[in-house]
Structure 1
């Protein structure tokens, strides 16, 4: 595939197809034929050699037909993914489905895509073909409106698959019919040599070059770049030498031989230092920055030599550089060849260790940024580094003696798994690492505390408390660590969220004692102050809460801890609202939202929407209150998380007040308007910078039989009564996860995104049924 052709796009709910960086050449017949295949099949796999242009063709087809897919066309890049579970998680990430519930990613995708009209482009499937085949088969059965274009060097081999062979560009014989290969080559040469022209004198050499490279786009683009440093005649002459040397090499077929020839030829163009660095860069499964390249690949060379050598690889198009991000990457085929070179050097294990060390340092820097002064943009940086972080985790968990280090790294990112909507991913890594470190040690203690956080946000308070109990035993044997304070903090949070406020407050006070004994320099102490204030607030102890927050806020500003300051301001807003001062609370809320928005904390944004709705309800602005409550509905469902019974009770009290003031029908309509807003638009409404949207048509009852099962109908009616998922689970004697699953299925089947829409649908459906059935005949009627 020619990765230089496209660049990442700004993701939208209409898809994430990348913008073109270079003009799309030819392929008119292929475009038409692939579109015809998509009219006959829901899965079309584009097969062909590496570098032949499968990805570019797939994206172009998707771009041309995107208007037919109401829910978007989405590119899922699989080149850095390995393992059965990695593939569905990559699709979840590409579709921007938040992962807070820890649900099986395949089930999550099946539920999400059911009822949607979506085109997926699964790119580079050959190394995970079996895993892709299993996932594709499940998704196609679950989602009738789903179509898939896959690119792979071999078919996925499942029922219903149509394969389409992507061939190299044809090469003509003369200027009148030179073929698309020549057109592509000349276009790319002019990007580096704007004055380049094809003439009668050089046309034979151009045609010969294109033919020798078999018309493969990647090879042609690499060759075009070489004209920056040598004449066309020299280039053709070197090709002659390379083909004679490599003419007998075959790996899987002629086209792969041609690509291998191209890559090996590029290798021969490199200086010895460039060849060595090229091989060592194979240890990076994703993009990397200069500092990482220097720390991992530098060996005995000084840093400036690594920079010069890397610049040489960029000049020779072995490595690509993105000036917008400051990151480097290698094309997949070039990285694969580099892997073979690295195996020949015998340095792979040592470089994997150094790679781990580099990303261990990355994690340490991320923690420092999170603790203050660098939170803005941090989550994006971690996601960008995730392929390399996964490789570092894998090294630790597969290498004897390194398991504790792996657990330490994974646990240190607890804030990301929690606040960055990555509960499922974080939980899996933590559980895997904890299984490999069964002995009581400080690393296990931190891991258990991190896992307890994940379990708590999943709503599994029983498992969370079990993890915390074991972590507590370890913490009590480590008097020099602040682990005990962190465990007490998490235990207190879980207790408060589960409704045991007095017990939670006691745990927070003990945590504060631990932090104060150690000089109060642990950044987590600020968060503990905030949640302790929250417990006082829930107990009606306003003075104690405000005193803690008054002490906390200057410390947050001093440490440049935006997250904690935003949390503290939100908590002060909650306290003022509970004290009967909703107008004062609104001021704190707006400032809190600015901070939380900049950090990217969706969980706190959802809490802010709710609290703002509470305040506006008391101020009499019921329309905006209902709309923001609906915006909160949408976020809670999107996150698949919950704030616990205590918060559910406050939300229900708000719903009851709004119902009394505006009636059920209007409340349902206004909440539905809120759920239809994006989080960004809802924030603008909250800030008074966007007018309230017009009321949409209310959700009418579906014609024909209900799409819901009997159990789903029961759940829908309980949702309409205002019950939370946990309350529904208790009423029906099922697990909360089962209730979560039922709600997801209901939303998918009805095409809704909020509980308010479900409630309105239940009401209108029941009314329609009553009108249709009329009064029942008496048993004695004849």
Structure 2
């Protein structure tokens, strides 16, 4: 990695799990010049993108470069940010985009365009021009929704793996709660290792294993949520953490270990960031869908949510948009009727 030009940050913690995702994403990026990594806020898109860029760095003679759009508020400045990141000299009286396209035309390079969700249209327009002028440049984008341009390959990222519900018991304990066996599940391993970074004596035991598994399931294996929960082991037992997940907004704040990105300082901040990007109609449907504590179908969603200004015939389109924007999960797409959950 040292011999390849790059600006990738050095990770402060170990990369846990995602072996299949890492392999699949590399194959997808080899086959497609634009891959967009999608998923809910906090599911680990940025970390996986950086790990993929590092693993593939030897493929790109002119380097791998991270362009973080999180703090950018003016979509027209995307070319300027990319040019600045690449250290491109800007000749006077020449448009930045034209200079950038000329510079990249012969480059063999990977660009990681991170956090595109708040300016998807501008990113799409920029990338269409960039990729049409730069045959050896590839782009790995992260976003909570598709950029919706031709040639884009999508890779949807789910939470880390957690143990399935046990169907048998040994004594009074579920058969799948052996502490060492549980560490084969990525969500359990992440929670445990991050907890040990806070409290070195922390260990998964037969006594606390059920609570750890409950935490991983309740948090859907979302890395950000698991890291925020594990940060509480210095003041709470894991049994207390599991019991307090009903008030997860208060529990899952960063405390003294704030993530670098402001929109990841708490679980609420991550969701607020996504919610603010929705249209009024999308926000309205999402608010009404929050009445469902479990999975729901389209027909029940229409029956419960279609009233007032939100008409029944609009629910399907809005629901599809919420799924595309990683705000609603399509839980089951088999059988006679699809089911969804928040």
Q: Which has the higher strand share?
A: 2
C-alpha contact (below 8 Å) 1:130/1:156 kept by paired residues? yes
Unaligned runs of 5+ in 2: 165-175, 274-342
Partner of 1:152: 143
Check if 1:82 corresponds to 2:68.
no
Partner of 1:187: 193
Partner of 2:322: none
Partner of 1:26: 17
Partner of 1:337: 269
Encode CA deviations 1:386-428: one digit per residue, 9 max, x unaligned: xxxxxxxxxxxxxxxxxxxxxxxxxxxxxxxxxxxxxxxxxxx
Once the two structures are superposed, the pairs formed by residues 273-352 of structure 1 within 5 Å of their partners are 314-315=255-256, 317=257, 319-320=258-259, 330-334=261-265, 337=269
Partner of 1:218: 224
Partner of 2:252: 266
C-alpha contact (below 8 Å) 2:263/2:270 kept by paired residues? no
SS at match of 2:67: strand
RMSD over aligned CA atoms reads: 2.5
Supply the distance in 2 between the matched residues of 1:211 and 1:79 (Cα, whole angstroms): 29
Encode CA deviations 1:99-132: one digit per residue, 9 max, x unaligned: 3525322212111101010000000000011111
SS at match of 1:199: coil
In the superposition, relative to structure 1, how do residues 141 and 36 fare at CA in structure 2: closer, same or farther (>3 Å)? same
Once the two structures are superposed, the pairs formed by residues 59-98 of structure 1 within 5 Å of their partners are 59-98=50-89
Partner of 1:14: 5
Once the two structures are superposed, the pairs formed by residues 298-697 of structure 1 within 5 Å of their partners are 314-315=255-256, 317=257, 319-320=258-259, 330-334=261-265, 337=269
In the superposition, relative to structure 1, how do residues 232 and 177 fare at CA in structure 2: closer, same or farther (>3 Å)? closer
Encode CA deviations 1:489-521: one digit per residue, 9 max, x unaligned: xxxxxxxxxxxxxxxxxxxxxxxxxxxxxxxxx
C-alpha contact (below 8 Å) 2:38/2:144 kept by paired residues? yes
In the superposition, relative to structure 1, how do residues 56 and 111 fare at CA in structure 2: closer, same or farther (>3 Å)? same
Q: For residue 264 of structure 1, report the CA deviation from its aligned partner.
A: 5.0
- TM-score of the superposition, structure 2-length normalised? 0.70
Higher alpha-carbon Rg:
1
Once the two structures are superposed, the pairs formed by residues 46-65 of structure 1 within 5 Å of their partners are 46-65=37-56
Supply the distance in 1 between the matched residues of 2:44 and 2:94 (Cα, whole angstroms): 36
C-alpha contact (below 8 Å) 2:4/2:61 kept by paired residues? no
Between the two proteins, the alignment pairs up a number of residues equal to 257
Unaligned runs of 5+ in 1: 1-8, 243-261, 268-312, 321-328, 342-782
Supply the distance in 1 between the matched residues of 2:101 and 2:41 (Cα, whole angstroms): 30
Q: For residue 177 of structure 1, report the CA deviation from its aligned partner.
A: 4.5
Supply the distance in 1 between the matched residues of 2:93 and 2:188 (Cα, whole angstroms): 51
Supply the distance in 2 between the matched residues of 1:132 and 1:112 (Cα, whole angstroms): 19
Q: For residue 13 of structure 1, report the CA deviation from its aligned partner.
A: 7.0
In the superposition, relative to structure 1, how do residues 314 and 333 fare at CA in structure 2: closer, same or farther (>3 Å)? closer
Q: For residue 330 of structure 1, report the CA deviation from its aligned partner.
A: 4.8
Q: For residue 25 of structure 1, report the CA deviation from its aligned partner.
A: 0.5
Larger RCO: Structure 1 or Structure 2 (Cα < 8 Å, ≥ 6 residues apart)? 2
Q: For residue 186 of structure 1, report the CA deviation from its aligned partner.
A: 0.5
Partner of 2:296: none
Q: For residue 96 of structure 1, report the CA deviation from its aligned partner.
A: 1.6
Check if 1:171 corresponds to 2:162.
yes
Supply the distance in 2 between the matched residues of 1:40 and 1:340 (Cα, whole angstroms): 35
